[in-house]
Structure 1
Amino acid sequence: MTTSHYIAGRWVEGQGSDCISVNDPALGQPFAELMAASVAQVDQAVSAARGALPAWKITSASKRAAYLRGFAEQLGQRREALITLQMRNNGKPRHEAEIDLDDAIATFGYYAELAEQLPSKNRDVPLAAPGFSARTRLEPVGVVGLIVPWNFPLVTSAWKLAPALAAGCTVVLKPSEVTPLIEQAYGQIADALGLPAGVLNIVNGKAETGAALSNHNGLDKLSFTGSNSVGSQVMRSASAQCRPVTLELGGKSAIVVFDDCDVGQAVEWIVAGITWNAGQMCSATSRLLVQEGIADALLPRLQAALENLRVGNPLSEEVDMGPLTSQAQWLKVAGYFATAREEGLQCLAGGKALDRDGWFVSPTLYADVPKDSRLWTEEIFGPVLCARRFATEEQAIAEANDSRFGLVATVCSADLERAERVADALEVGHVWINSVQAVFVETSWGGTKGSGIGRELGPWGLSAYQSVKHVTRCLG
């Protein structure tokens, strides 16, 4: 049994009613277990954050920046252990786990730099009216709850934790019950750095723990990344208290390939967009829109590329794609395979679970998928790609935008003016042109429509944890 709750600067055992099994998805077997935090322990964590807030928010920006750089350095010192845990608990191939860790390190380093710039952001405001002066203060929003998903643990928590601490907020972090172990590193680092008790608190648990945190009246803000169904519950909890939220939710993103694109290069971008993390990404480009002039050449090459991917256990072999992270997700994806058969979809590759230990599925491609198919419209969260053909640029834009989601998109074309024009017309939060999904901490992350509210990363990520105050003084 693992002790995994970090409250008020101390490690404590869970007192909740749920026992959490931590699984190796490549084997389909548990390798650790822990007791969830109780509702009372969630309350203790929020109280600890509330108690630590007055001192933390007036801690100098330079000192907060030093702590953040300490987090980055300590993550690097734990490199091999964290990479191995990502591979074991998530099923990520080594190269993906390495990028995850590098992303988290870069995030803490970036927000350390922004923290040092905070004093210059408090400045005088020119007024047109005589006889008054005004100034701006950027203040921490207060105590924030952070609820993060299982597909990118360590990374998504860094995207929230680093800017929250930089802004002067205190936090209660709830990792996913599917991957509850890796975020323990943040508590261990807090201990090693001497971070004041209560500034960072970590509580693990299932739905009861998440509800206790999202409903807690001691929070000033909540930031959630996960499914739309849970996100709507989080939003209802926030609305009951008129509390601000940041929501990073689902996607059903398009990759648009024009007929002037190099076929081999297009295949590389398409495969990366649907098989990275076994397709378990809100940003997975799971809708392929391919122009008629290139479709007959591209689809067979894409079929072969997906069939040739090495799928297996990342801890015992060199692989391109690992298993799905949980049995629940494996069953969900298998259900979509059944739906595809019922709908009579044309399967060019995959379309089945693999007959081996663990939660493996085959990389899958369906061709000429109708727009009313469930597989075309619903987020699957697996390596399942649906393709349709288009004739004109206008048709491609219309079909790409015909979704209740609006997180990301990719445009592939040798005509850069056209690519930029299409990127501007797409109703999403982030567009890549002729690229894999490279995410940089300096750019924003978030979507439009049903893909969420607010932005993470970049200066926008810091602003999400700041409150703007103006002070106006009469000079008379």
Structure 2
Amino acid sequence: MTTPTTHAEWQAAAARLRFRDQLWIDGKPVPAADGRRFPSVNPANGRILAEVARGAAADIDRAVAAARRAFDNGRWSRRAPADRKEVLLRLAALIRQNVVELALLDSLDMGKLVTDAVTIDAPGSAHFFQWHAEAIDKLYDEIAPTGPGDLAMIRRVPLGVIGAVVPWNFPLDMATWKLAPALAAGNSVVLKPAEQSPLSALRLAELAAEAGLPDGVLNVVPGFGEEAGMALGLHPDVDALAFTGSTAVGKLFQRYAGDSNMKQVWLETGGKSPNLIFPDADLDAAADKAAIGIFFNQGEVCSANSRMLVHESIADEMAARMVARAAAYQPGDPLDPASRMGPLVTRGHADTVMGFIDAGRQEAQLLCGGERLTLGGSDAYVQPTVFLGADPTARIVREEIFGPVLSIQTFRTEEEAIALANDTPYGLAASLWTRDLNRALRLSDRLVAGTVSVNTVDALSAMTPFGGLKQSGFGRDLSLHSFDKYTALKTVWVKYG
């Protein structure tokens, strides 16, 4: 499909879409065991896109059984690494061939700008599948230095059946971050996409089958957390579970593991990322990137730079810059290339974000935004919002909002800046703006965050691990380190001679 360039062309392409609405188990689409369905709603207009099969415990049982059979028969788990690589490279190519369709699915399902989905999310998923595929036959086992008469081999082996639970803010990307290394390592997977955004995951499963992935190796069970998610977390035949989402739900998965088979649980959870700006920084560049860091994807980003910490000498300048940048991010139809933000994922989530904004009006100075908008029949749109001067104990400073809401605070010294930045239960990401290399290195050492971006925001790559500290979790996606979650080290010791 040729990439549309105008609003009308994107609307026409959307009208031609076919939505996959069944579970994907053992290589084919199937209804839920009890026949139930749930609506997948377009937040841009409130209309139902599709009635999707609602997976529950019985469906998780079916999917896990299929994944276990596929793992045990060895058609994937014992396949040569180079052969697995070829299948995943074909999948990457198929994603690229269907990039417009996949971008539209995510845009319609959760409200992200289709221009972001078609240039960042969908191509990024193809890239991540390709990168992990290319890594498969570059991971070497080890030989221990035992001496004559002994051969001790340390082998990296797949774990078995992986449960993956992913959020709605980057539906295709987050599924890929889990699936690419898990499948590359030889595991079978049961994926539960968020109930708000199941459509691209179901299409991805279909493409994986087309690429040659054997039946049962990838299963997709849309459903609700308290049904399908809980069943996956408690299942005794799941060997490990990878989760991206809220801290509260991450804690539930740890509990499920303890109550069942002590499965490994890898978490990437919430964030409240600080963005430190010093007077010697390029303030225009800092403001441009800070706007991306909080308004991109409607602020529905776990590592969003939602707390700007500014030296008091430049506080007024930076506040004015951020108000000007916010004006350029007014929300609109996500299928319109002229829009800079779309709606929030649901009306309910917009209610939550507005609750934070209402609290912020009592806690700080509202510089701009703060209003809810109704566009195209939907009231899930929220203006980009900037607050100044909130106390460190304020809700808008302490809690993850997951919306386009920025809080600006001031500091006098490096010590105060570090204290404010680290005064949070989270530790996912941080940004730091200065031309002083000594300061950059000195403070990056002290910022408690899984990633510290210097003179940019939210830097990531397939080559570097992504994950957090403290209550932001402890799993790592991306990079060669992602294989650590989905493999075990096995020692094989041979006496000879």
Structure-1 residue corresponding to 2:242: 223
Structure-2 residue corresponding to 1:236: 255
Secondary structure of the structure 1 residue equivalent to 2:293: helix
Structure-2 residue corresponding to 1:277: 297
Structure-2 residue corresponding to 1:432: 453
Cα deviation digits, residues 332-362 of structure 1 (max 9, x gap):
1011122123x34210011121244321001
> What is the TM-score normalised by the length of structure 2?
0.92
Measure how far apart 1:211 and its partner are.
1.1
Measure how far apart 1:420 and its partner are.
2.1
Q: 1:391 aligns with which of 412, 420, 445?
A: 412
Distance 1:311 1:180, change over 3 A: same
Structure-1 residue corresponding to 2:143: 124
Q: 2:354 aligns with which of 330, 334, 354?
A: 334
Q: 2:125 aligns with which of 88, 101, 104?
A: 104
Q: Does 1:37 align with 2:55?
A: yes
Q: 1:351 corresponds to which letter in structure 2?
A: G
Matches of 1:372 and 1:166, distance apart in 2: 45
Secondary structure of the structure 1 residue equivalent to 2:157: strand
Structure-1 residue corresponding to 2:200: 182
Q: 2:232 aligns with which of 210, 213, 222?
A: 213
Measure how far apart 1:309 and its partner are.
2.1
Measure how far apart 1:314 and its partner are.
1.8
Matches of 1:152 and 1:105, distance apart in 2: 14
Matches of 2:441 and 2:105, distance apart in 1: 40
Measure how far apart 1:166 and its partner are.
0.8
Q: Does 1:48 align with 2:69?
A: no
Measure how far apart 1:214 and its partner are.
1.2
Cα deviation digits, residues 180-228 of structure 1 (max 9, x gap):
1011122211221232111111111112111111111110101111111
Secondary structure of the structure 2 residue equivalent to 1:298: helix
Structure-1 residue corresponding to 2:6: none
Q: Which runs of 5+ in 2 are unaligned?
A: 1-18
- Contact between 1:367 and 1:387, CA under 8 Å: does it hold in 2? yes
Matches of 1:233 and 1:156, distance apart in 2: 20
Q: 2:80 aligns with which of 57, 60, 80?
A: 60
Matches of 1:312 and 1:16, distance apart in 2: 39
Distance 1:235 1:124, change over 3 A: same
Q: Where does 1:25-424 land on structure 2 (aligned, <5 Å)?
A: 25-54=43-72, 55=74, 56-97=76-117, 98-118=119-139, 121-127=140-146, 131-207=149-225, 208-240=227-259, 241-341=261-361, 343-356=362-375, 357-358=377-378, 359-424=380-445
Q: Does 1:21 align with 2:42?
A: no
Aligned length: 472
Cα deviation digits, residues 132-158 of structure 1 (max 9, x gap):
331111000111101111001010110
Q: Which runs of 5+ in 1 are unaligned?
A: none
- Contact between 1:138 and 1:466, CA under 8 Å: does it hold in 2? yes
Q: 1:323 corresponds to which letter in structure 2?
A: P
- Contact between 2:303 and 2:428, CA under 8 Å: does it hold in 1? yes
Identity %: 39
Q: Does 1:469 align with 2:486?
A: no
Measure how far apart 1:72 and its partner are.
0.3
- Contact between 1:245 and 1:453, CA under 8 Å: does it hold in 2? no
Measure how far apart 1:417 and its partner are.
2.3
Q: 2:275 corresponds to which letter in structure 1?
A: I
Measure how far apart 1:17 and its partner are.
6.6
Measure how far apart 1:130 and its partner are.
5.7
Matches of 1:429 and 1:438, distance apart in 2: 11
Distance 1:272 1:3, change over 3 A: closer
Distance 1:346 1:18, change over 3 A: farther
- Contact between 1:4 and 1:181, CA under 8 Å: does it hold in 2? no
Measure how far apart 1:67 and its partner are.
1.0
Matches of 2:114 and 2:330, distance apart in 1: 13
Secondary structure of the structure 2 residue equivalent to 1:260: coil
> What is the TM-score normalised by the length of structure 1?
0.96
- Contact between 2:465 and 2:481, CA under 8 Å: does it hold in 1? yes
Secondary structure of the structure 2 residue equivalent to 1:229: helix
Matches of 2:184 and 2:374, distance apart in 1: 48
